[in-house]
Structure 1
Amino acid sequence: MGKILIDDIVPIIVIMALGYVCGKLSYFDDDQRQGLNKLVLNIALPAALFISIVKATREMLAQDAVLTAIGFVGIIVMFMISYYLCRLMFHRSIQEAAVCALIAGSPTIGFLGFAVLDPIYGDTVSTNLVIAIISIVVNAITIPIGMYLINVGQAKDRARLSAATVTNSKGEVKVADKAAKTPAIVATKDDEAVDPSKDAKQDRNAEVMVSKSSNKGKKKNQNLEALINALKQPVCWAPLLAIALVLIGVRVPSSFAPTFDLIAKANSGVAVLAAGLALSTVKFSLGWETLWNTFYRLILTPAAFLGVGLLCGMGSDVNKLSMLVLAVALPPAFSGIIISSRYNIYVKEGASTTAVSTVAFAVTCLLWIWLVPLCAH
């Protein structure tokens, strides 16, 4: 266990701290920080997701139907519960709740899965199966769902802003609905609307929209538009393509793996560094929301999987049940904080949750290793 802490957990904390210090010292300007996020989100992360998923096979998924079912259903259910609880308990917007679910509702299985599980349980078929199943669900299902929800929320914001504005006889654009929770639009002399948050838009910290869309007078289906916009993102279509290849039985030649692996190796290190940079741009938060997200990620989610696993008869194979619980008890997926930082959504709470959860995992990891066999017996 000490080896895991030294080899895996400590490097994450050190690199995240390095990113935080670099941010505080302005070692990276805003353009460079966004460039790192774009590198991870649009290139390195999609490559890492693709190559990790295509290594699985249909036979692996069919090998243990109970484990596969619990993994697929459980991750999606806990992701959506995190989303709805964030909206209900903390009154977050659709976009913020989606990013919260990507962080609090998704484990960093791609980065720490093998690093944590292999030393404890060995490099076995069961270990690879657990990691493959959780990785597929997190990367190929919850990330596209999260991006879709972000697009839905932003589409609704655009529609609400459009409905809440009127143009007077002088060509001035004003907010008609004072209750609208959108920035007010003020007038200009040239019949051109100017948003008072324009200065903020010039700040590279702020990503205005995940994807822009024009409104040419045609009423659009917001859900369909949001789905299409989400599927355009490499972080969505790359894992979906990979799982499609797995399901139809197409094997990617092993000669292609080194190409994907080379760029994928940049994902974890840069993602952790970028998380530290993101944390440096906001005031660290150790409020109730951060504590709740940490509790949900490290305690509530694995406890739910442990209970369901026992009810489904997995108690007879303690090692496999323990691997499943520990896989979903990992710290937040770094893809969540990258999406958060890239689009300037839920950055303060997301970065704080990632930092606190990563440190706290050193304790909760030991807790679950001890507790699962005890409950199974």
Structure 2
Amino acid sequence: MVSYFLYKLMFHRSTQEAAICALFAGSPTIVFLGFAVLDPIYGNNTNTNLVIGIVSIVVNAITIPLGLTLINKGQDKLKQRVAAKKGNGSTQVEIKLGQKGTTKKTIKKVSVPDNVPVSDEEAKALSEVGIQREIDLVHAEFADHAGKKDAKPMNPTLKSVINAVKKPVAAAPLLAVIFILIGIKIPASWAPTFDLIAKANAGVAVLAAGLALSTVKFSIDKEVIWNTFFRLFLTPGIIVLVSYLCGMGTQKISMLCLATGLSPAFSGIIISSRYNIYVKEGASSVAVSTVFFAVSCIFWIWILPIFAGVSH
């Protein structure tokens, strides 16, 4: 949420774009890199597995559904703007266009056909004027189905939450956590199937991230630099400070720092590609952060013992 609000404040991005950015900058790729980084340093023991497990639950069962909720909320706002019908059966939507090299916005009016927030033709037109966040809006009727005029509209926030939880990427981790909490165990005969999925998960995620990177032109700008700094240095730095204030042990703080200071989760690039929002900046952020993690990891391993000695 800190990443979300700072991004809207600093770079004047839309709700959808800020939400995608928060998924990049706010979520470490704990499932993929957690064991690879923590096990060689601290050993494959209960404490290491607990840190990885808890951070994984936070990322997959809390952060991703929250990010999807914000994306849905932003899209609903856009649909409501589109829903302002005119007498000729079409609508005019004012789209804010960013100017390269500046935070200034220009406003362009775009006609949208009746009954569909963004059609295939309109998506192409929007793409031609350089807008990505509206391209992949779901084809649906106007907000809350325009044909149901007498139906009471659902609370926008509740609707966004429900739509987010419906997505498999959010529903599966939530369902898994619920099963664990109430003690439902998967039959042993199913284990090989889930083991196969678990082993393929990291490879498929890397492939998806690579495909997303291949579709956009790699670039480094102030947003990519900010995302990298936020993910690799600012987030773990705040975690370390708060952990010391809470009186945690040095080794646990070190494990938590590295677990929360990993490169961005691949779920961000997958969701970004699915909605066609913030793909170029997000893909570049993943690439830069993954490379610079080799530097940040060594930095934290070096600085944490020094910090611990000073604090004592």
TM-score category of the 2 structures, normalised to the smaller one: 0.7 to 0.9
Between Structure 1 and Structure 2, how many residues are aligned? 287
The answer on 1:353 being equivalent to 2:272 is no
The answer on 1:184 being equivalent to 2:110 is yes
8 Å CA contact 2:127–2:135 kept in 1: the answer is no
Q: Secondary structure at the match of 1:271?
A: helix
Aligned to 2:2: 81
The answer on 1:245 being equivalent to 2:174 is no
TM-score, normalised relative to structure 1: 0.70
Aligned to 1:368: 300
> Aligned partner of 2:137: which letter?
M
8 Å CA contact 2:72–2:160 kept in 1: the answer is yes
Q: Secondary structure at the match of 1:372?
A: helix
The structure-2 alpha-carbon separation of the partners of 1:341 and 1:134, relative to structure 1 and needing over 3 Å to count, comes to: same
Aligned to 2:77: 156
The unaligned stretches of length 5 or more in structure 2 are: 98-106
> Per-residue deviation at 1:200?
6.0
The structure-2 alpha-carbon separation of the partners of 1:353 and 1:88, relative to structure 1 and needing over 3 Å to count, comes to: same
Aligned to 1:299: 233
Aligned to 1:166: 86
The answer on 1:175 being equivalent to 2:92 is yes
Q: Tell me how far apart the structure 2 counterparts of residues 142 and 82 of structure 1 sit (CA, whole Å).
A: 12
Q: After the TM superposition, which residues 62-211 of structure 1 pair with which residues of structure 2 at under 5 Å, given as runs? A: 80-163=1-84, 165-168=85-88, 171=89, 173-175=90-92, 184-185=110-111, 197-199=122-124, 208-209=136-137
Q: Which has the higher helix share?
A: 1
> Per-residue deviation at 1:357?
0.3
> Aligned partner of 1:115: which letter?
A
Q: Tell me how far apart the structure 1 counterparts of residues 19 and 240 of structure 2 sit (CA, whole Å).
A: 25
Aligned to 2:146: 215
> Per-residue deviation at 1:278?
1.5
> Aligned partner of 2:190: which letter?
F
The structure-2 alpha-carbon separation of the partners of 1:84 and 1:147, relative to structure 1 and needing over 3 Å to count, comes to: same
> Aligned partner of 2:53: which letter?
A
Q: Tell me how far apart the structure 1 counterparts of residues 113 and 81 of structure 2 sit (CA, whole Å).
A: 19
The unaligned stretches of length 5 or more in structure 1 are: 1-79
Percentage of matched positions with identical amino acids: 59
Q: Tell me how far apart the structure 2 counterparts of residues 210 and 331 of structure 1 sit (CA, whole Å).
A: 30
Aligned to 1:72: none
Aligned to 1:330: 262
The structure-2 alpha-carbon separation of the partners of 1:158 and 1:114, relative to structure 1 and needing over 3 Å to count, comes to: same
8 Å CA contact 1:102–1:336 kept in 2: the answer is yes
The structure-2 alpha-carbon separation of the partners of 1:174 and 1:342, relative to structure 1 and needing over 3 Å to count, comes to: closer
8 Å CA contact 1:290–1:349 kept in 2: the answer is yes
> Aligned partner of 1:208: which letter?
D
Q: Deviations over 1:274-333 (max 9, x none)?
A: 22221222222210000000000000001001101111111xx32211100000010000
> Aligned partner of 2:250: which letter?
V
> Aligned partner of 2:110: which letter?
A
8 Å CA contact 1:130–1:327 kept in 2: the answer is yes
Aligned to 2:274: 342
> Aligned partner of 2:176: which letter?
A
8 Å CA contact 2:93–2:109 kept in 1: the answer is no
8 Å CA contact 1:183–1:197 kept in 2: the answer is no
> Aligned partner of 1:268: which letter?
A
8 Å CA contact 2:65–2:165 kept in 1: the answer is yes
Q: Secondary structure at the match of 2:137?
A: coil
Q: Tell me how far apart the structure 2 counterparts of residues 144 and 302 of structure 1 sit (CA, whole Å).
A: 22
> Aligned partner of 1:100: which letter?
C
Q: Tell me how far apart the structure 2 counterparts of residues 152 and 86 of structure 1 sit (CA, whole Å).
A: 17
Q: Deviations over 1:22-68 (max 9, x none)?
A: xxxxxxxxxxxxxxxxxxxxxxxxxxxxxxxxxxxxxxxxxxxxxxx
8 Å CA contact 1:143–1:236 kept in 2: the answer is yes
8 Å CA contact 2:95–2:108 kept in 1: the answer is no
Q: Secondary structure at the match of 1:208?
A: coil
Aligned to 2:104: none
> Per-residue deviation at 1:272?
1.6
8 Å CA contact 2:123–2:136 kept in 1: the answer is no
The structure-2 alpha-carbon separation of the partners of 1:148 and 1:175, relative to structure 1 and needing over 3 Å to count, comes to: same
8 Å CA contact 1:107–1:297 kept in 2: the answer is yes
The answer on 1:321 being equivalent to 2:260 is no
